[in-house]
Structure 1
Amino acid sequence: MRKYPLAAAAMAAMIIPGGAALAQPAACRGTALLVSVSGFKERAGTLRVQTYAGAANYADGHRRVSRIEVPVPRGSGPVDVCVPLPGAGDYAVSIRHDANGDGRSDRGDGGGFSNNPRLSLGQAISRRNPSYDSVRVDAGAGRVTPVPITLNYLRGLSIGPIRRNP
């Protein structure tokens, strides 16, 4: 099991307003994840991006490689967050949209994971994460790995992406 120093968690992250789709903007380079978050219920509050290295760290929930909080920019489209990594390997990403920015989990908040696994209401209520295998992303050395994530919100007695009328 690899250990990552706290300095890795303190690495600067970059938010790319307006979402450059999944292109690799010049600001994001080296071994990194370009997390592209879409499906916001509203463009307010804060976005938390947490990254875990390996299944044991993900299962623990407190042993993160990084935790980045950024304000949700106004506008439309995805919000891209560059997450520098300490090295190549397998990682998991979890997202939380604190819609009202109060720092607490509320019914109006959203969330998601790398690879966009289907979430159940039972998982949300009991705060059980999807399996590591379902959210695992391989990051290669010296390259930016795109990680698209669609936010899920509580919808009546289910949880899922916001459906917009065309």
Structure 2
Amino acid sequence: MIKTKFLTRTGIGSRKSILAGLAIAGAMGFSVSAPAIAQYRNEIRNDMSRCSSGSGPAVMVTVDGIKVSQGNLRIQTYRATSGEWLKKGKWLSRIDVPAKAGTMTFCLPVPAPGTYGVAVRHDLNGNGDTDIMSDGGAMSNNPSINIFNLGKPSYSKVGVPVGKSVKSIRVEMKYM
């Protein structure tokens, strides 16, 4: 309550003062970016129109070898850097859909041209947990995945350069 009264009386933290601060920073030539949290953890739907001609930047991912039509498929994009690839909470966008046996295609917009990695997981029983002995997985560039690297190849093996347009890739699901 005291903190709220202080902020209200002083104007610190008010929308008006924040906007004024951003305007001053811009006028002084400082770049002001969106809050870091807005960059990550974007749950999106599979909107294929975002991968149509003239769209981008985006990654169009075709997933081959989906074993069965049960459980859920999760597709996530990451920046292909040592600090972000497969790090908890560092995924940029995510699509969760019911799995369909065979091949499925997804459109994952990315924030800007750069190098990105894509991770796919088939949660066969739909429990939300990774069950190493039953769930399937795939990654951009189809790197070798085995029990010794715990399915986490280096960001340098999965990095896909994405320009201003749509980059198409194919990944092959692997199951134990």
Q: Is the 8 A contact 1:11 1:84 kept in 2?
A: no
C-alpha distance in 1 between matches for 2:154 and 2:62: 21
C-alpha distance in 1 between matches for 2:161 and 2:95: 20
C-alpha distance in 2 between matches for 1:59 and 1:47: 16
Partner of 1:131: 154
Q: Which gives a bigger RCO, structure 1 or 2 (Cα 8 Å, sep 6+)?
A: 1
User: Relative to structure 1, is the Cα distance of residues 49 and 83 closer, same or farther in structure 2, using a 3 angstrom cutoff?
Assistant: same
1:69 is matched with which residue: 96, 103, 106? 96
User: Relative to structure 1, is the Cα distance of residues 11 and 140 closer, same or farther in structure 2, using a 3 angstrom cutoff?
Assistant: farther
* Structure 2 counterparts to residues 98-137 of structure 1, below 5 A: 98-106=123-131, 107-123=133-149, 127=150, 129-137=152-160
The C-alpha deviation readout for 1:70-99, integer Å capped at 9, x for no partner, is 1113xx541001001111100011110011
User: Relative to structure 1, is the Cα distance of residues 5 and 145 closer, same or farther in structure 2, using a 3 angstrom cutoff?
Assistant: farther
Q: Is the 8 A contact 1:36 1:149 kept in 2?
A: yes
Give, as a single letter, the amino acid of the residue that structure 2 aligns with 1:101.
G
SS for the counterpart of 2:115 is strand
User: Relative to structure 1, is the Cα distance of residues 65 and 29 closer, same or farther in structure 2, using a 3 angstrom cutoff?
Assistant: same
Q: Which has the higher helix share?
A: 2
User: Relative to structure 1, is the Cα distance of residues 11 and 47 closer, same or farther in structure 2, using a 3 angstrom cutoff?
Assistant: closer
C-alpha distance in 2 between matches for 1:87 and 1:12: 17
User: Relative to structure 1, is the Cα distance of residues 113 and 40 closer, same or farther in structure 2, using a 3 angstrom cutoff?
Assistant: same
When the two chains are superposed, the root-mean-square deviation of aligned CA atoms in Å is 2.7
1:39 aligns with 2:65: yes
* Structure 2 counterparts to residues 73-112 of structure 1, below 5 A: 73=100, 77-106=102-131, 107-112=133-138
Q: Is the 8 A contact 2:63 2:170 kept in 1?
A: yes
The C-alpha deviation readout for 1:34-81, integer Å capped at 9, x for no partner, is 1111111212111111111131211534311112211113xx541001
Larger radius of gyration: 2
Q: Is the 8 A contact 1:13 1:81 kept in 2?
A: no
C-alpha distance in 1 between matches for 2:53 and 2:99: 19
Partner of 1:10: 42
C-alpha distance in 1 between matches for 2:90 and 2:174: 24
Structure 1 outlier segments of 4+, above 4 Å: 2-5
Q: Is the 8 A contact 2:73 2:121 kept in 1?
A: yes
